[in-house]
Structure formats: structure tokens, C-alpha cells
């Protein structure tokens, strides 16, 4: 059975470009992003890992650890990292997992037989501090992922985890958020002292609580 939102993310021990890691221990009490790549030395993935490395500081500010996965081995990872650093002008500091036996890929449902029986699709998982899956995105091999969007979603997820709010379409950090239906308008007015704008009984906005 494939993973679904809210499921516990499978733990694993793996060899990576920074040494052996235990997934849960590596994440600690923080958040995680686990994303897969069809193989090393692929052009789109080279740009993706480069972009992730360029945004490393943004992930760290959010207490998020990033892990990439490929079904190739550590020797290829090392050469590929050199290429990524050179062509994307970055320094890849996050681990790339060597999943040669595809055990992690299979546990996370990263191999879609109708797309490829041997290579992982471009899957991305956001894992919360409770080790539950908070987000799943799957891209085709030809389309590079938008990691600024991944950061935006993490901002929304972390906001929702700490306050009784949701985020509207195209929301960006600093913009108004939506009071969740479980909170009455009367309680919302008490809970959100910056004000509550009632557009409809079910559609109520309030300024971002932590700004």
C-alpha cells in the first residue's frame, strides 16, 4: 500500500554521501524533506539539487533537513555532487541517499511501474516533527520541481501546526490567513487580537498570527 497524507513516514538506515544515517535520528525533532531522482547525472535533477543547495539556508531557518535519494551508488553520487557544485555554483551539503536495492524507494512508493519499472519518479515528501507525512508531490521526469513553492508550503504547514489557521490560494508569508471552521467567530475574535474579517460565516480572515 502506498503512503498517504497523515501516515507515519517509514524509518530507514541508509548509506549516504555524508555517511550512514538513521532517518528519524537525522531529522531529530525537526521537519524533513525527502525527494527522489531517477538517477545520477540527469540534467533536470542536476538543476534541482543545485537549487536546493542554494536554498539550504532557507530550509535551515525553518528547522527543515533535506535528503535526496537516487538508486545509484555512493561512487556515482560523489562525482555527480562535483558536477552539481561546478555547474550550479553551489555547495551540496545535504545527504544524497544511495538506494541501490530500492528498499526506501519501494517503502515510499517512489517507483511507478507505468512510468518506469527501475527508476524512481520525482517524488517529494514533507515530514513533520511527529514523523507523519504532511505533503506529497510527484512530478514527471521532464519537469523540474519548484523549491520556492516547497518552502511556501512548509511555511503554511508550520503556521497551521502552531495556530488554528489555514492559508488561502497563492498565499505568501506575511499575507492574511483563514480562520479554520473548527473555531467559532466569537472564539476567533478572542484568539486573534489583530482582528477578524468575516466575509462569510465560513470565510474569515485574520492577519498572520506570528507576524
Residues 133, 6: contact at Cβ < 8 Å? yes
Helix then strand then coil, in percent of the chain rounded to 5, is 30, 25, 45
Element (H, E) at 37: strand 31-37
Which among 56, 17, 13 has a CA at the least distance from the CA of 33?
56
What is the secondary structure of 67-108 as a DSSP string?
EEEESS-HHHHHHHHHHHHHHHT----S-EEE-TT-HHHHHT
Q: Any idea which residues carry the catalytic annotation? A: 45
d(CA 159, CA 211): 11
Amino acid at each position: 500500500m502506498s503512503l498517504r497524507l497523515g501516515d507515519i513516514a517509514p524509518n530507514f538506515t541508509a548509506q549516504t554521501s555524508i555517511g550512514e544515517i538513521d532517518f528519524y535520528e537525522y531529522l531529530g525533532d525537526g521537519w524533513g524533506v525527502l525527494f527522489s531522482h531517477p538517477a545520477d547525472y540527469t540534467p533536470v535533477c542536476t538543476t534541482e539539487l543545485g537549487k536546493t543547495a542554494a536554498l539550504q539556508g532557507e530550509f535551515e531557518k525553518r528547522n527543515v533537513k533535506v535528503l535526496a535519494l537516487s538508486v545509484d551508488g555512493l561512487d556515482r553520487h560523489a562525482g555527480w555532487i562535483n558536477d552539481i557544485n561546478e555547474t550550479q555554483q553551489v555547495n551540496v551539503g545535504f545527504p544524497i541517499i544511495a538506494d541501490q536495492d530500492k528498499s526506501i524507494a519501494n517503502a515510499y512508493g517512489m517507483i511507478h511501474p507505468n512510468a518506469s519499472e527501475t527508476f524512481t519518479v520525482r517524488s517529494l515528501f514533507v515530514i513533520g516533527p511527529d514523523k507523519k507525512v504532511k505533503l506529497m508531490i510527484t512530478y514527471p521526469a521532464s519537469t523540474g520541481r519548484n523549491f520556492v513553492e516547497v518552502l511556501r508550503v512548509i511555511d503554511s504547514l508550520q503556521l497551521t501546526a502552531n495556530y488554528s489557521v489555514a492559508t488561502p490560494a497563492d498565499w505568501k508569508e506575511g499575507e492574511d490567513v483563514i480562520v479554520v471552521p473548527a473555531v467559532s467567530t466569537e472564539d476567533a475574535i478572542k484568539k486573534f487580537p489583530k482582528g477578524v474579517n468575516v466575509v462569510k460565516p465560513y470565510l474569515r480572515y485574520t492577519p498572520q498570527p506570528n507576524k
